[in-house]
């Protein structure tokens, strides 16, 4: 148990850990970042520029930067620095990000990888305890073992060097001001704080987020974060190097390695981190060109896979909430997730057949497995062109502590940025005013074979742990171009592994069903991650459970925690919208 906490708090934490524990060898994912209500928000219209983020303070920061002539990247950085303060459960300096950028003058899409990495000491038995048994998922998440080397700041620095206009330090001003003066604790943040079983175990987080009785501070409480303001001042003045070397880096290493379940992060791991430019993965769907992130994200591949398999079906003739629409989209999801789980990983260490997985002929062969009259159940992975390695079975558990922002500036430059600390509140470790990620639990768990979970002689999963490796992601920032090559949509969503289904279904809504962004984002969720067919709890889509079961679907009714933000470019200007399930806003001029 973490030392330095009052006895009552130690008791609360111990009880929470018991509730989250699972038997050795059986991994049960924690609940994803939870649902917190549904409130429709109108589409926002503008002529010159637009920002849409998951929090009004972040949207306002982006708007401030755009108004003084900043680029889309400038605005995205300012917004993300605020999100790390006002939406700390989802992203921040202690996490990672993927950035997709479009430059209309060069007619070029570029993508930037700021995914966290495992420390050099990372090994496949990372989550096996001293007793030789697998840790419970909750025990692994809330530990130094789960913390990857953060990449968010480095990838923002790289994108700023390529596409920024305003001085680096100027982008920090909105977040510094809010951290100093304070912000009102929102209903969503309060709800997540109240239900989280682990965060009270960190002394700094306990003091910041919770009252003396251990309950989450009330909605509307003014939260000031002077530690975060001090960190931002240092980074504004000294640049990203101040995060990866020096006092901040030392503080990260000390708290990760000093945890009761310590990690093995070194100063060299932080100093050696590099963000990377990757070639985006692009394909076509009904004459549109759609671009997304390539590995280590599976988002771009899997979204294009689903769309490629669905293209032979006349979805436009189906109602969005019909049994057949849900059936077809769920079946395409099974096949796409089967392939992503088997093949996609860090491309620097694993050979990923990226182009083969989205090759039209291959997707046509996979689509032939979809039968309109019957579910296939659990799908098997295929053999795409370029696949040459037999990987072991994947056992990755993915949570949903993520955010997405969409921005278009006055020159037409666009950014779709998805950013994360993995599960809600990450590793539940707070340092210098921000939370650290638990991204290393995004690697495949060793769960086959006996008490230790080790299966001698079996091939490793593509997404297995290794030193310096980036865990696979489902994040899917997306750009959509019309038949004439003009940018039409900038969009994406948080939501853990369900992001792929969210984004693919949104694109079907926009392209096949001709819905506007707000209506698309408000549609009830459904889909399959190659497990049960999932239907969104509390929506009209629940009525399809019995008809789907009649087609052979195993059905699960669950909360969904998407958080879409998006911008449409039309002849009349810009239209921005956000997901009614979260607290986002859109704003432009």
Residues annotated catalytic, as ranges: 402
Copy the structure tokens of residue 80. 């993300």
> Which residues, 6+ apart, have CB-to-CB distance to 409 below 8 Å?
49, 66, 70, 71, 72, 75
Assign 555 to helix, strand or coil: strand
**C-alpha to C-alpha distance for 144 and 315, rounded to whole angstroms:** 47
Nearest Cα to Cα of residue 335 among 559, 100, 527, 556: 527
Return the number of other C-beta atoms located less than 10 Å from residue 168's C-beta: 19
In the chain, what's the furthest Cα-to-Cα distance? 65
- From the centroid of its chain, how far is CA 454? 29
**Distant-in-sequence, close-in-space partners of 546: CB < 8 Å, separation ≥ 6:** none
Which run of H or of E encompasses 574?
strand 573-578
Q: Rounded to the nearest 10 degrees, what angle do helices 323-343 and 360-367 cross at?
A: 130
Residue 372, beta-bridge partner list: none
Tokens of 487: 């940018």
Q: Is there a contact between 352 and 549 (Cβ–Cβ < 8 Å)?
A: no
Strand partners, 53: 585
- Which among 536, 494, 429 has a CA at the least distance from the CA of 188? 494
Which residues does 7 contact at the CB level (< 8 Å), separation at least 6? none
Contact between 152 and 419 (Cβ < 8 Å): yes
Residue 316: burial class (beta carbons within 10 Å; 0-12, 13-18, 19+): exposed
Cα 254 from Cα 234, distance rounded (Å): 19
């Amino acid at each position: 148990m973490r030392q330095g906490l009052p006895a009552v708090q130690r008791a609360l934490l111990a009880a929470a850990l018991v509730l989250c524990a699972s038997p050795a060898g059986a991994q049960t994912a924690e609940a994803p970042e939870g649902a917190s209500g549904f409130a429709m928000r109108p589409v926002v219209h503008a002529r010159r520029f637009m920002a849409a983020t998951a929090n009004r303070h972040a949207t306002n920061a982006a708007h401030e930067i755009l108004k003084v002539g900043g680029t889309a990247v400038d605005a995205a950085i300012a917004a993300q620095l605020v999100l790390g303060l006002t939406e700390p459960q989802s992203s921040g300096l202690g996490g990672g990000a993927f950035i997709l950028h479009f430059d209309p003058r060069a007619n070029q899409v570029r993508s930037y990888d700021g995914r966290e990495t495992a420390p050099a000491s990372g090994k496949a038995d990372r989550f096996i305890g001293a007793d030789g048994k697998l840790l419970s998922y909750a025990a692994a998440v809330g530990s130094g073992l789960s913390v990857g080397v953060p990449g968010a700041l480095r990838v923002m620095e790289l994108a700023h060097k390529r596409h920024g206009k305003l001085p680096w330090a100027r982008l920090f001003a909105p977040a510094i001001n809010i951290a100093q003066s304070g912000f009102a604790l929102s209903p969503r943040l309060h709800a997540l704080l109240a239900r989280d079983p682990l965060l009270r175990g960190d002394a700094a987080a306990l003091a910041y987020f919770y009252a003396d009785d251990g309950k989450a501070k009330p909605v509307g409480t003014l939260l000031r974060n002077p530690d975060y303001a001090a960190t931002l001042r240092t980074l504004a003045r000294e640049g990203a190097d101040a995060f990866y070397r020096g006092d901040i880096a030392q503080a990260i290493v000390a708290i990760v390695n000093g945890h009761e379940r310590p990690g093995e992060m070194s100063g060299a791991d932080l100093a050696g981190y590099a963000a990377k430019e990757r070639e985006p993965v692009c394909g076509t769907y009904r004459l549109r060109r759609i671009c997304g992130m390539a590995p280590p994200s599976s988002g771009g591949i899997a979204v294009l896979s689903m769309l490629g398999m669905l293209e032979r079906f006349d979805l436009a003739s189906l109602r969005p909430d019909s049994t057949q629409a849900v059936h077809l989209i769920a079946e395409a999801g099974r096949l796409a997730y089967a392939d992503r789980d088997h093949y996609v990983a860090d491309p620097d260490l694993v050979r990923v057949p990226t182009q083969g997985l989205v090759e039209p002929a291959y997707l046509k062969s996979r689509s032939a497995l979809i039968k309109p009259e019957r579910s296939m159940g659990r799908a098997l992975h295929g053999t795409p062109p370029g696949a040459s390695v037999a990987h072991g079975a994947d056992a990755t558990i993915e949570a949903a502590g993520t955010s997405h922002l969409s921005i278009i500036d006055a020159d037409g430059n666009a950014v779709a940025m998805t950013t994360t600390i993995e599960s809600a509140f990450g590793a539940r470790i707070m340092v210098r005013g921000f939370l650290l990620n638990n991204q290393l639990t995004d690697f495949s768990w060793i769960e086959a074979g006996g008490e230790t979970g080790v299966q001698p002689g079996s091939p490793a999963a593509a997404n297995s742990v290794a030193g310096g490796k980036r865990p696979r992601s489902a994040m899917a920032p997306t750009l959509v171009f019309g038949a004439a090559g003009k940018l039409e949509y900038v969009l994406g969503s948080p939501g853990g592994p369900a992001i792929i289904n969210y984004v693919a279904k949104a694109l079907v809504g926009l392209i096949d069903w001709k819905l506007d962004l707000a209506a698309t984002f408000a549609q009830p969720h459904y889909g399959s991650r190659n497990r049960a067919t999932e239907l969104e709890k509390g929506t009209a889509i629940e009525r399809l459970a019995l008809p789907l079961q009649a087609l052979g679907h195993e059905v699960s009714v669950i909360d969904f925690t998407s958080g879409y933000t998006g911008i449409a470019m039309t002849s009349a200007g810009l239209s921005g919208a956000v997901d009614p399930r979260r607290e986002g806003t859109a704003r432009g001029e």
